[in-house]
């Protein structure tokens, strides 16, 4: 893959990679979610009931804002819901933000919240919200699922350790979790089980896949390639100054892996210069 074909480049206002002291968007989103959760606990769940999306939204379109706010509310009765979602966002989101940049990551994350919530509303309206007359949905799971899919698309062979012992390739873990949602959704439609918005999870994952395959940049509001051909795998070879570019490409891979393992603070001055040089070359090429 050519250097300028890579997804490490972003269209944020500041060129180059996110290396400054500015707080990452993943951290900001986690703090917001935790803050809302704490306030909600103090209010005995009243805030989450207000923010959650309701299954009757199609009959009350003036509550459309709930499609977004539902992604920042979690079950106040325990830590598992918000804790698992925020841990997964931290685990998978850092690399995705490093690839797409703070602004685009935020745009994608918020869009996945809305898409996931909307899919749940449509499903709840069609199938009676799993047998309940009126029901509510809250949580960041749909967007987090999408972030996981984007991470796995970029790092399919990365190993995750189950219980800290058993290595599992990222793509296997992703397929297992998506399979669980497919099975859970099928059971819910037959009235078996419930309480989990599997359709929202699947909607987030589907949006992430389409987003990657079409080459969207939500900052431009239009896909780069908007055809069925966009669903085909991206070309893996595009040569530009082979020797120098491949060498720089290999260095970028090593540096990004180091950021993933140890964080940006672990980079040496030489590694930071390498990233800055790659960014300048990309900006010059676009002019």
| Beta pairing class for 136-137 and 53-54 | antiparallel
Q: Is the pLDDT of residue 21 over 60?
A: no
213, 231 in Cβ contact below 8 A? yes
Domains of the chain (ranges; CATH) run 21-231 (1.20.1540.10)
* Among candidate residues 218, 180, 211, 197, the one with its CA nearest the CA of residue 122: 197
pLDDT of 12 over the 60 cut: no
Joined tokens for residue 56? 């009757």
Q: What is the pLDDT of residue 97?
A: 92
Nearest-angstrom CA–CA distance, 41 and 260: 33
pLDDT-derived band at 237 (thresholds 50, 70, 90) equals very low
Percent of the chain with pLDDT over 90: 26
pLDDT at 189: 59
Report the DSSP beta bridge partners of residue 136. 54
pLDDT-derived band at 132 (thresholds 50, 70, 90) equals: low
Confidence of residue 105 (pLDDT cuts 50, 70, 90): very high
pLDDT, residue 163, reads 62
Q: Which of 266, 270, 139 is nearest to 203 (CA)?
A: 139
Residue 129 backbone zone (phi > 0: left; psi -120 to 50: alpha; other: beta): left
pLDDT at res. 285: 56
Pairwise pLDDT comparison (133 vs 207), residue with the higher score: 207
Quote the DSSP letter at residue 217. B
Task: Provide the pLDDT confidence category of residue 245 given band limits of 50, 70 and 90.
Answer: low
**Tokens 């120098």, located at residue:** 244
Q: What pLDDT does residue 226 have?
A: 46
Show the tokens assigned to 192.
Answer: 């078996």
Q: What is the mean pLDDT of residues 129-136?
A: 61
Q: In the predicted model, is pLDDT for residue 19 greater than 50?
A: no
213 exposed, middle or buried (CB, 10 Å; 0-12, 13-18, 19+)?
middle
Which region among 169-173, 227-231, 264-268, 279-283 has the lowest average model confidence (pLDDT)? 227-231
Taking alpha carbons only, the member of 69, 84, 79 closest to residue 32 is 69
- Is the pLDDT at 209 greater than 70? The verdict is yes
Alpha-carbon distance of 278 to 281, in angstroms, equals 5
Per-residue pLDDT tens digits for 159-168: 777 666 778 8
Q: pLDDT at position 284, please?
A: 54
pLDDT exceeds cutoff 50 at 228 = no
Asked whether the predicted pLDDT for residue 142 surpasses 70, the reply is yes
> What is the predicted pLDDT for the residue at 218?
83
């Amino acid at each position: 893959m050519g250097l300028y074909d890579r997804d490490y480049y972003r269209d944020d206002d500041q060129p180059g990679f996110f290396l400054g002291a500015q707080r990452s968007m993943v951290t900001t989103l986690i703090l917001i979610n935790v803050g809302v959760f704490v306030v909600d606990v103090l209010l005995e769940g009243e805030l989450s009931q207000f923010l959650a999306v309701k299954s009757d939204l199609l009959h009350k379109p003036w509550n459309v804002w709930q499609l977004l706010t539902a992604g920042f509310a979690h079950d106040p009765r325990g830590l598992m819901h918000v804790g698992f979602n925020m841990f997964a966002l931290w685990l998978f989101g850092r690399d995705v933000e490093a690839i797409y940049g703070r602004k685009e990551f935020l745009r994608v994350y918020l869009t996945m919240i809305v898409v996931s919530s909307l899919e749940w509303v449509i499903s709840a309206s069609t199938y009676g919200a799993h047998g309940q007359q009126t029901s509510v949905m809250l949580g960041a799971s749909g967007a987090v699922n999408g972030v996981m899919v984007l991470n796995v698309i970029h790092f399919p062979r990365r190993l995750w350790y189950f219980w800290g012992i058993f290595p599992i390739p990222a793509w296997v873990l992703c397929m297992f979790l998506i399979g669980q949602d497919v099975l859970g959704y099928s059971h819910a439609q037959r009235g078996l089980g419930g309480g989990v918005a599997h359709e929202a999870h699947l909607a987030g994952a589907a949006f992430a896949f389409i987003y990657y395959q079409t080459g969207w940049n939500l900052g431009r509001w239009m896909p780069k390639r908007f055809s069925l051909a966009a669903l085909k795998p991206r070309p893996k070879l595009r040569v530009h100054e082979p020797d120098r570019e491949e060498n720089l490409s290999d260095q970028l891979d090593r540096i990004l892996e180091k950021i993933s393992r140890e964080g940006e603070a672990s980079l040496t001055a030489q590694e930071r210069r390498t990233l800055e040089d790659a960014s300048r070359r990309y900006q010059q090429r676009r002019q």
